[in-house]
Amino acid sequence: MKKLAITEEIWKEGNMYTSYCPELDIAACGHTIEDAKKNLIEVIKIQIEETAKMGTLDELLWKAGYDIESGKDVLELDREIVQFEKVQVPVGIG
């Protein structure tokens, strides 16, 4: 069975945490970071199972940028995050 390498972003929103996978555009939340991470993996597994049943899993992975014909055990994107920072941009209001 192949594995899928994903990026997981964790965001604090009020008293909840959101875990987001930008490659698949899937998010989940939880009251703790651990819950949010666990819930994201569960949602991704469900998405993969359901698209496989519908016959659209290859299309989902291809659109996300994965090379499903690579023959590798772990499917990874050719890109990776190398820096992440907050930047302020003027918006011309007020």
Total domains present in the chain = 1
DSSP-assigned letters across all residues of the chain: --EE----EEEEETTEEEEEETTTTEEEEESSHHHHHHHHHHHHHHHHHHHHHHT-HHHHHHHHT--TTS--SEE--S----------------
Residue 91 within any structural domain of the chain: no
Q: What is the pLDDT of residues 43-86, one digit of tens each?
A: 999 999 999 999 999 999 999 999 888 889 999 998 888 888 99
Residue 34: CATH number of its domain: 3.30.160
Q: What is the pTM of this model?
A: 0.84
Q: What is the pLDDT of residue 11?
A: 95
Q: What is the pLDDT of residues 21-48, one digit of tens each?
A: 999 999 999 999 999 999 999 999 999 9
Residue 58 within any structural domain of the chain: yes
Give the count of beta carbons closer than 10 Å to the beta carbon of residue 42. 11
**Residues 26 and 64: beta-carbon distance below 8 Å:** no
How sure is the predictor about 15, in pLDDT bands with cuts at 50, 70 and 90?
very high
Query: In which domain, by residue range, is 21 found?
Result: 3-68
How sure is the predictor about 1, in pLDDT bands with cuts at 50, 70 and 90?
confident
